[in-house]
């Protein structure tokens, strides 16, 4: 019994591999209908499946394969022409074979898969040419033999009948069938000498076909290994690399030449071992590409478009896990390109392009990453339309849009707000589920960007790390601690001495920028993001220029330590929730360093700080002018450390006192039960980096409610309610503040209420029961 199961399993494995090849071949065949090589390759695959399924008594499978084989043999012999209908039918046959195989795999039997429909379809497709109806038509079911013999009219049905049976097991042919079989072998060599013999020995024989010889050869010289085992090996190698790093560092201080030599050897071997183990997990990207020709073809026919798929760099290898992870996003991009990118033949001709669109997949290694491009020569995306849509949907404001470069505008198709907008899809031709694609790519540490020239086409470029476990990273120091920044996001490093920094780092409306070769690079201080204080006071500025989501920004760190290969370790749930760290690693000297999540960092720092704040400020200035004399009532509160904060009164719903002991925790957030609901708390002193007394018994709380959601803002003491005067303001700012003003004869900081609320409840504006615009609070602030 076991023996039989093994045979079935082998059959399944082999057949699945063959079917993938078949999809590719069938589609390729449409491009070059006269390729006998392709036809023979296809014929062989089906023939093998038919033979084995007969042997294993999978009758329905045999039946489908058999009629498919009939058609293929006639195509191969030129008795039939390959039409799109026939290709479709053949592809449908492949699908049926697949579902039969799936059923066999799951249940051991053929299950309830119905084959009669597809059998009828194939038979019908074979006969749809009235021209050859006369003699071959009645003989259609047995046409394989007739056609193969090349003397169709002469063959008697009597001879054909037994021949059909023998086809199951060509190797042990009955004498009756010998004649047609011999004819077949004898006939084929004429047009195509080399692979002729294989028709009868399909499974083992090498073929002259494009990549099938490589596959078969590989299959013979490989063993199947459990992926879990490889994962474990990979982990161990990771540990080894770490230990190696440590030893190399220690030995570097030693004078013992033997030890140094041994450590150098260890260094070398560990590197090679790491590379070797990584290679075991590598697979050519063709594994996921091979399914795409079919996708493109089907979708092209469905959309009435003429699309040619070209692939460059099929052999580019990447980690199996990553390959799996990339599969769906890549398919999505390809579908998008066919569906929306490439125009209909008429439109293309109208635009002076060839009617056939070209979709190009490119894969290559580039500085330790795999770059995969999905490029089409379609209509392209018009940034103006994207921009207009973004404004309409409230994703950005007009003013923000005006400041964005066309490239930045294009990247907005990856924003979640866009994916759900059907209108955008119609206008721009992109955007369905692009945020999902992006999320998936980022989940594996990759990046995605889009380039487009209106009328010329669109390129989506994925950058994927070679492997997840070990990544090259830059280690930097900030406030005495070390952090790792994955190289994939790093573009360059800029180091400015005190003198230079004083001139080169400028401020645009309060936001620090650096002129990098004439372009303004927004700067983000890591200390600010992390709520730490820099320990560098000599005025030097070190900028790591990072790229995320098509935007560049400079991360100001205290020092750059070095670059090293780091082994990524997952961090616990508590730390993941912070959303700034993608993991942790152990450095060469054994200390733990956090790995910064550059995407999250950019999202947090850039949108919150530069765009929105500037926006609010501009609007505030305008509003102040317009409504001169109008004053806003502000609530004054102290937050400890002698700092005073002003909060617009219309963002205050109630003032409450909460006993400290009633503060509870949900995840890493503090909450308090309040009027039958759970109220998230933000402690303003921590939020703004002040240090109030922490052990108070009663907390002063400002409750803000909007659309059924509430948050509580904890302050040290409520001081007063005053009339805000827009006149005396300055742009001295800090995280979480909009600026400062003199209120009640004292300098008072103006709280960025929106940021404070988001700190307590990140979902406040997005998940409210009622619809609330993201600009809700900013708007109220702008009335100042």
Residues that bind another protein (CB under 8 A): 239, 242-243, 481, 530-532, 569-575, 578, 580-581, 584-586, 590-594, 661-665, 667-668
| Three-state secondary structure call for residue 561 | strand
> Residue 658: in which H helix or E strand, if any?
strand 654-659
User: How near is the Cβ of 663 to another protein at its closest, in Å?
Assistant: 8
CA distance 423 to 515: 38
Q: Given the complex with another protein, which of 197 and 235 has the nearer CB atom? A: 235
Q: Given the complex with another protein, which of 435 and 581 has the nearer CB atom? A: 581
User: How near is the Cβ of 716 to another protein at its closest, in Å?
Assistant: 18
User: How near is the Cβ of 752 to another protein at its closest, in Å?
Assistant: 17
User: How near is the Cβ of 532 to another protein at its closest, in Å?
Assistant: 6
| Three-state secondary structure call for residue 330 | helix
| Three-state secondary structure call for residue 395 | coil
- Say if residues 262 and 244 touch (Cβ distance below 8 Å): no
User: How near is the Cβ of 697 to another protein at its closest, in Å?
Assistant: 12
Q: Given the complex with another protein, which of 202 and 584 has the nearer CB atom? A: 584
Q: Given the complex with another protein, which of 63 and 670 has the nearer CB atom? A: 670
Please choose, from the candidates 683, 781, 655, the residue with its C-alpha nearest in 3D space to the C-alpha of residue 724. Answer: 781
CA distance 444 to 486: 12
Q: Which residues contact 236 (CB under 8 A, 6 or more apart)?
A: none
| Three-state secondary structure call for residue 255 | coil
Q: Given the complex with another protein, which of 483 and 765 has the nearer CB atom? A: 483
**DSSP category for residue 747:** E
Q: What residue has token string 């760099």?
A: 313
| Three-state secondary structure call for residue 285 | coil
Q: Which residues contact 496 (CB under 8 A, 6 or more apart)?
A: 504, 505, 514, 540, 541, 542, 543
Q: Given the complex with another protein, which of 385 and 604 has the nearer CB atom? A: 604
CA distance 167 to 51: 7
Q: Given the complex with another protein, which of 381 and 594 has the nearer CB atom? A: 594
Torsions phi, psi of 244, nearest 5? -60, -50
Q: Given the complex with another protein, which of 426 and 533 has the nearer CB atom? A: 533
Q: Given the complex with another protein, which of 693 and 745 has the nearer CB atom? A: 693
User: How near is the Cβ of 249 to another protein at its closest, in Å?
Assistant: 14
Cα angle value 177/170/3 (rounded, 5°):
145
Cα angle value 127/133/135 (rounded, 5°):
120
Q: Given the complex with another protein, which of 421 and 568 has the nearer CB atom? A: 568
User: How near is the Cβ of 528 to another protein at its closest, in Å?
Assistant: 11
Angle between helix 257-280 and helix 227-251 axes, rounded to 10 deg: 160
User: How near is the Cβ of 310 to another protein at its closest, in Å?
Assistant: 44
User: How near is the Cβ of 320 to another protein at its closest, in Å?
Assistant: 23
User: How near is the Cβ of 277 to another protein at its closest, in Å?
Assistant: 17
DSSP 141-192: GGHHHHHHHT-TTT--HHHHHHHHHHTTSGGG--HHHHHHHHHHHHHTTTT-
């Amino acid at each position: 019994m076991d023996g039989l199961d093994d045979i079935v399993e082998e059959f399944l494995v082999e057949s699945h591999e063959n079917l993938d090849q078949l999809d590719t071949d069938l589609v390729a065949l449409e491009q070059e209908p006269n390729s006998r090589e392709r036809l023979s390759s296809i014929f062989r695959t089906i023939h093998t499946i038919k033979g084995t399924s007969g042997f294993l008594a999978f009758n329905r499978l045999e039946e489908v394969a058999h009629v498919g084989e009939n058609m293929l043999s006639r195509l191969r012999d030129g008795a039939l022409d390959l039409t799109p209908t026939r290709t479709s039918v053949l592809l449908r046959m492949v699908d049926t074979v697949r579902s039969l195989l799936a059923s066999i795999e799951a249940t051991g039997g053929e299950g309830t898969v119905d084959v009669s429909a597809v059998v009828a379809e194939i038979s019908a497709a074979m006969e749809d040419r009235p021209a050859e109806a006369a003699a071959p038509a009645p003989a259609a079911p047995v046409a394989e033999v007739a056609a193969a013999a090349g003397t169709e009219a002469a063959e008697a049905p009597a001879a054909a009948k037994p021949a059909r049976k023998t086809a199951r097991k060509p190797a042990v042919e009955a004498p009756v069938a010998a004649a047609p079989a011999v004819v077949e072998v004898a006939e084929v060599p004429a047009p195509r000498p080399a692979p002729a013999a294989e028709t009868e020995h399909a499974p083992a024989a090498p073929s002259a076909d494009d990549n099938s010889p490589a596959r078969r050869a590989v299959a013979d010289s490989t063993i199947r290994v459990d992926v879990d085992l490889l994962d474990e090996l990979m982990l161990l190698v990771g540990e080894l690399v770490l230990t190696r790093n440590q030893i190399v560092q220690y030995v570097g201080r030693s004078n013992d030449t033997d030890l140094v030599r041994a450590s150098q050897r260890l260094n070398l071997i560990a590197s090679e071992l790491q590379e070797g183990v990584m290679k075991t997990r590598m697979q050519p990207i063709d594994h996921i590409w091979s399914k795409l020709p079919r996708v493109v073809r089907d979708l092209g026919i469905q959309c009435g478009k003429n699309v040619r798929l070209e692939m460059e760099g099929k052999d580019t290898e990447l980690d199996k896990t990553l390959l799996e992870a990339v599969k769906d996003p890549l398919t999505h991009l390809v579908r998008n390109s066919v569906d929306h990118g490439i125009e209909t033949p008429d439109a293309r001709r109208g635009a002076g392009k060839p009617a056939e669109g070209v979709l190009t997949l490119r894969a290559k290694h580039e500085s330790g990453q795999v770059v995969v491009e999905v490029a089409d020569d379609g209509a392209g995306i018009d940034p103006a339309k994207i921009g207009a849509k973004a404004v309409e949907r409230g994703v950005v404001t007009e003013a923000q849009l005006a400041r964005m470069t066309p490239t930045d505008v294009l990247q907005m198709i990856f924003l979640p707000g866009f994916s759900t907008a059907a209108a955008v899809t119609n206008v721009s031709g992109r955007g369905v589920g692009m945020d999902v694609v992006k999320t998936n790519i980022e989940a594996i540490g990759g990046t995605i960007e889009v380039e487009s020239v209106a009328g010329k086409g669109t390129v989506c470029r994925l950058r994927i790390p070679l492997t997840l476990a070990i990544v090259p990273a830059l280690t930097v120091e900030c406030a005495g601690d070390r952090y790792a920044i994955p190289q994939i996001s790093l573009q360059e490093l800029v180091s400015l001495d005190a003198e230079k920094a004083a001139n080169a780092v400028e401020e645009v409306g309060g936001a620090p920028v650096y002129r990098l070769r004439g372009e303004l690079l927004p700067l983000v201080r890591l200390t600010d993001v992390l709520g730490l204080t820099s320990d560098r006071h000599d005025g030097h500025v070190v900028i790591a220029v990072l790229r995320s989501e098509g935007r560049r920004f400079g991360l100001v760190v205290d020092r750059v330590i070095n670059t090293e290969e780091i082994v990524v370790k997952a961090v616990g749930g508590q730390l993941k929730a912070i959303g700034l760290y993608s993991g942790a690693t152990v450095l060469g000297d054994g200390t733990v360093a956090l790995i910064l999540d550059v995407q999250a960092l950019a999202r947090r720092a850039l949108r919150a700080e530069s765009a929105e704040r500037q926006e609010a400020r501009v609007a505030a200035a305008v509003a102040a002018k317009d409504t001169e004399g109008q004053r806003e009532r502000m609530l004054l509160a102290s937050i400890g450390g002698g700092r005073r904060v002003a909060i617009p009164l219309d963002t205050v719903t109630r003032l409450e006192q909460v006993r400290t002991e009633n503060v509870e925790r949900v995840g890493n957030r503090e909450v308090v039960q309040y009027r039958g609901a759970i109220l998230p708390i933000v402690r303003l002193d921590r939020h703004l980096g002040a240090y109030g007394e922490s052990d108070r018994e009663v907390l002063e709380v400002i409750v803000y409610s909007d659309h059924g959601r509430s948050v509580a803002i904890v302050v040290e003491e409520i001081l007063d309610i005053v009339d805000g005067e827009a006149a005396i303001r300055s742009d001295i700012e800090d995280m979480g503040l909009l600026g400062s003003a003199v209120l009640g004869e004292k300098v008072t900081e103006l709280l960025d209420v929106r940021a404070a609320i988001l700190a307590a409840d990140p979902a406040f504006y997005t998940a409210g029961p009622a619809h609330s615009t993201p600009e809700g609070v900013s708007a109220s602030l702008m009335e100042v």
